[in-house]
């Protein structure tokens, strides 16, 4: 697999990379969204609402509006600049179509040196290896550029596709947490996963 990580602004800072970082592999390109991506994001989220809702926190009533997207984007840019979270949007190499997202959330420095991995993808692009490729790039970014020691993830016990993805990415099942996260409007149990940087 040929992977590319480019810092378009020049020199990188491993703790706070610039907003224009791009990650690329054979089939996907990842970057932070811009205001110009609003329509594509709204379209794919609306089209895949029924597919995504069972796996995500309750969608706010205004979540499919441009004002919501702009507020979300400002928050993501603010968190990126502070080194607290990194939101990557996933685009197909061939068509530049937005197909999903991969996030590094709750970045902790100090003794922890870890973050939480999250991801979503449109139904038409699922089970084609695209999310494995995209999330793999973000894992490489987390360990190689951010110099994190550990990534964590969680998924619903019946989400077999997500569990297979995490296994392919080198995560190991580490535990089970009752009422761990609010998903689709109710507290739900989750399987906990972790991956450590190999020294």
Calculate the average pLDDT of the chain: 92
Question: Could you give the domains of the chain?
Answer: 4-149 (3.40.630.30)
Q: How far apart are CA 126 and CA 140, in angstroms?
A: 21
CB–CB of 99/125 below 8 Å? Answer: yes
Q: How far apart are CA 141 and CA 23, in angstroms?
A: 8
Write down the residue that tokens 């973000």 correspond to.
Answer: 138
| Pick from 40, 42, 49, 87: nearest CA to 68 | 42
Mean pLDDT of 7-27: 72
> Is residue 103 predicted with pLDDT exceeding 70?
yes
Mean pLDDT of 154-182: 95
pLDDT at 15: 61
Angle, CA 153 vertex, CA 78 and CA 57 arms, to 5°: 65
pLDDT at 5: 54
pLDDT at 8: 40
- The pTM is what? 0.90
The model's pLDDT over 109-156, given as tens digits with 9 standing for 90+, comes to 999 999 999 999 999 999 999 999 999 999 999 999 999 999 999 999
Q: How far apart are CA 96 and CA 114, in angstroms?
A: 31
Share of the chain above pLDDT 70, in %: 92
């Amino acid at each position: 697999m040929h992977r590319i990580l480019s810092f378009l602004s020049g020199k990188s800072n491993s703790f706070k990379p610039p907003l224009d970082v791009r990650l690329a592999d054979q089939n996907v390109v990842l970057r932070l969204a811009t205001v110009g991506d609003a329509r594509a994001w709204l379209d794919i989220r609306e089209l895949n609402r029924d597919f995504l809702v069972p796996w995500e926190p309750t969608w706010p009533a205004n979540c499919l509006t441009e004002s919501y997207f702009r507020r979300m984007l400002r928050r993501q840019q603010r968190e990126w600049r502070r080194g607290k979270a990194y939101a990557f949007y996933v685009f197909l190499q061939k068509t530049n179509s937005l197909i999903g997202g991969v996030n590094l959330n709750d970045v902790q420095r100090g003794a922890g040196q870890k973050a939480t991995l999250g991801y979503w993808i449109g139904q038409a692009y699922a089970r084609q290896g695209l999310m494995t490729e995209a999330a793999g790039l973000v894992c490489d970014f987390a360990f190689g550029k951010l110099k994190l020691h550990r990534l964590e993830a969680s998924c619903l016990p019946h989400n077999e596709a997500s569990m297979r993805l995490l296994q392919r990415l080198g995560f190991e099942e580490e535990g089970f947490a009752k009422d761990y996260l609010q998903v689709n409007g109710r507290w739900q149990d989750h399987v906990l996963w972790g991956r450590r940087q190999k020294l």
